[in-house]
Amino acid sequence: MGRARQHAEARQGERRRRLANEAARLMAESGIRDYNQARRKAASRLGIHDETSLPRNQEIEEALREYQRIFLGPAQADAVRVRREAAARAMEFFAAFQPRLVGPVLDGTADAGSPVALHLHADDPEAVARFLAEHRIPAEPRGRRVRLDRRRELQVTAWLFEAEDLAFELTVLPGAVLRQAPLSALDERPMPRASLAQVRGLLAGG
């Protein structure tokens, strides 16, 4: 029984690795940003429908980093650097809203299709809209659902626009959220965020 169980666990582990690698490839090559979408599409392509074999988000992220290192190399590193530089300039511009950099540009998994994602903070939800209008920035609003913790969610607005041939996504959050980061979809822990000073530190460190 023990040997059979070990064999079954080994097969399940191999399926998880195959699914994680395929999901990572889809994210890197097809521009998929959602881990669940990539996971389900990978399962469909490989014909693996065992729920217990589905990899966790963190496993897919690790596979994505490895894929980028092997197949994209300097091009991917350049995409991250260019977007971090653009993020720093945008954070200076939106300084009144205490911006924080989040997402793939911060964690280093951004590619040529990744937007620069910033969290802006304002108790008046229309303040960012007015600021964009005053500076004639043609941004498009999108509804977003943000999880503050395991029980509380917020419906907020994200503003999408392009500048410097890059996509930007500004999610507007209440000022109080600055003290406690929303939960990450990756691991349901407080989302990593970086201030302007921290982004400059990342750039200085290469």
- 180 by DSSP, 3-state: which? coil
Dist. CA 113–CA 104, nearest whole Å: 11
> At 154, which helix (H) or strand (E)?
strand 153-163
What the block records as the tokens of 107 is 């964690």
**pLDDT per residue over 161-204, tens digit each?**
999 999 999 999 999 999 889 998 888 889 999 999 999 999 99
Dist. CA 115–CA 126, nearest whole Å: 22
**CA triple 25-164-194, angle to 5 deg:** 65
Is residue 102 within 8 Å of 108, Cβ to Cβ? no
**pLDDT per residue over 46-93, tens digit each?**
988 888 888 998 899 898 888 888 887 788 889 999 999 999 999 999
Dist. CA 194–CA 198, nearest whole Å: 5
Strand order in the sheet with 100-102: 100-102, 116-121, 166-173, 153-163, 140-147
Dist. CA 165–CA 54, nearest whole Å: 36
